[in-house]
Structure 1
Amino acid sequence: MPSSAAPDPFGERLSAATLRICDAVTAVSASNPVVVIDGRSGAGKSSLAARVARAWPLSTPVQLLALDSVYPGWSGLERGAEIAREQVLRPHGRGLIGIWRRWDWELQEEAEAHAVDPALGLIVEGCGALTRAAAALADVTVWVDGPKDSRRRRALERDGDGFRNHWDMWADQEDAHIARHEPQTLAHVRVATP
C-alpha cells in the first residue's frame, strides 16, 4: 500500500547526509572523533547535527556544541567560531577538558560555563565553524548550503522576528567567512539542501 505521506526532499537530503557522516565517523576508528559542520543560515546545519547526534555510530555518547550558544551577539560570527576553536577544539585535540560559556541573548552577556570531555566524540555546528585551523582539529568536516530563498524561509520560521532584523548583517558575516576561509573546499561531506 503506497504511503500517503507527502515527500520531504529536505528531510531526505538530511537523512542521506547523516548516513554519510556516520560512515565517515566509523571510518575514523577513534573513540572520540570530532565532526565540524558549517554552512549558511537556514541550510539545515542544526537539524543535521541533531540527526548525527541521535544516530551516532559509536558506543560512547557524543557531545554537541551549537555555535548559536557561543556567538557573542549578532555581530559575533567570527568571534564565536574563534571561541569554539580555541576553547573547545584545541583542548579536545590535546586530550584536555574544554570550557565554553553560553551567551545569554536576552542579557547580552556570558552565562554559565560548560565542560567538554576530551574522551568523548564531539560535534561542533554553526556558521563560521569550518576554517583551515578548525579542519586541522577535526576528523570529519561538513559544509551545508541551499538556495537563499529556502534558507531564509526556514531560518525565519525557526527564529521569527528575532532574526528578521539581523538577516542581512548576519549574511554579510557569512559572506566574509566564506571569502576568507572557503569552508566548502575544506569539507569531506558537502550537503546541498533544497
Structure 2
Amino acid sequence: MARPALPTSTPGPAIHQLAARLRRLPPSCGPVRLIGVDGHAGSGKSTFAGRLAEALDGAPVLHLDDIASHEELFDWTGRLLTQVIAPFRDGRTAHCAAYDWHSRRFAPPRPLPAAPVVLIEGVGAGRRALRPYLACLLWLDVPREEAWARGRARDGEEQREFWDGWVRAESRHFAQDPSKPYAALLVRQLAMGYEVKAGPAGGHRPDPDVTHGE
C-alpha cells in the first residue's frame, strides 16, 4: 500500500501541545512511551504521525505497512510482538524486517531504537494484543468511506483490485477487534492543521479535558 511522503511543513500548536503531553506519560513498554496512531486506511495517519514525530524531536515511527504483507494484511501480531515489543520491554533496540509491497518480500531487518517516545502508526495499531503496551492510543477520526475514497484516489486505478480486497479485510478486522472505542484521543484534520479532543476511553488519556486545535 502506497504511503504519502513525509511532511515538510512545521507542526502547528495542537501537535506541539499534544507532544508535550505525550512526553509526560509514564513509559509503557520498557523505557518506551509507545504511542499508537490508528484509523481507517486513507485517513491521514502517516502524515499526522510524521508531523507528531517532528514535534517530538524526531521520534522513531514504525509504519505497520512495513510489518504487514499481501499474505498477512492483519495477521502480523506475532511478528510485531517478537520483533518490536519484546526488545522494547527489555530496553533493547528492536530490529524490523520491512515488507516491500512491489517485490512482495521482506527486506533485511533494520534498527528501531527504544527511544523515550516511539510512534506506531497504521490500521490496527490499537488492536487488543497491543493495547497493554501503549502509553496512549490516538484515532484519526475520519469516516471510513471518506478515508477509503482518499486512499483509492491516492493510489490510483492500478491499485483498485488491492483496495477492494483491503476494504473487506479492514472491515472484518475492525468488526472483530475495534480500536476507536479504546482511543484516548481523537484527531480531526481541519482546513489548516489538526484538532485533538478527548476520545471514548475515559481515564486513559494524557489530560482529561484536552481540547485544542490549530
C-alpha contact (below 8 Å) 1:132/1:186 kept by paired residues: no
1:48-100 deviations in Å (ceiling 9; x for gaps) = 111101111x6xx4111111122112x42212354233321232123122221
> Aligned AA for 2:187?
V
DSSP 3-state at the match of 1:28: coil
1:64 to 61, 64, 78: 61
DSSP 3-state at the match of 1:142: strand
1:128 to 120, 124, 131: 124
- Identical amino acids, percent of aligned pairs: 25
Q: What is the Cα deviation at residue 124 of structure 1?
A: 0.7
> Aligned AA for 2:186?
R
C-alpha contact (below 8 Å) 1:67/1:81 kept by paired residues: no
Aligned to 1:37: 37
Q: Does 1:52 align with 2:52?
A: yes
C-alpha contact (below 8 Å) 2:35/2:118 kept by paired residues: yes
* Structure 1 or 2: more helix by fraction: 1
Aligned to 2:195: none
CA distance in 1, matches of 2:78, 2:131: 13
Matches within 5 A, 1:11-30: 18-19=15-16, 21-28=18-25
C-alpha contact (below 8 Å) 1:101/1:113 kept by paired residues: yes
DSSP 3-state at the match of 2:170: helix
Calculate the TM-score normalised by the size of structure 1: 0.78
Aligned to 1:115: 111
CA distance in 1, matches of 2:109, 2:189: 33
1:152-179 deviations in Å (ceiling 9; x for gaps) = 3321233223432222211222122212
Aligned to 2:211: none
DSSP 3-state at the match of 1:65: strand
DSSP 3-state at the match of 2:61: strand
- Taking a change above 3 Å as real, the CA distance of residues 80 and 16 of structure 1, as seen in their structure-2 partners, is farther
- Taking a change above 3 Å as real, the CA distance of residues 15 and 178 of structure 1, as seen in their structure-2 partners, is farther
CA distance in 2, matches of 1:19, 1:171: 33
CA distance in 2, matches of 1:163, 1:24: 38
C-alpha contact (below 8 Å) 1:24/1:140 kept by paired residues: no
Q: Does 1:154 align with 2:133?
A: no
- Taking a change above 3 Å as real, the CA distance of residues 129 and 164 of structure 1, as seen in their structure-2 partners, is same
Aligned to 2:72: 76
- Taking a change above 3 Å as real, the CA distance of residues 20 and 156 of structure 1, as seen in their structure-2 partners, is farther
C-alpha contact (below 8 Å) 1:20/1:189 kept by paired residues: no
CA distance in 2, matches of 1:127, 1:106: 20
DSSP 3-state at the match of 1:170: helix
Larger RCO, structures 1/2 (Cα 8 Å, 6+ apart): 1
DSSP 3-state at the match of 1:62: coil
Aligned to 1:4: none
Aligned to 2:138: 142
| Long gaps (5+) in structure 1 | 1-13
Calculate the TM-score normalised by the size of structure 2: 0.71
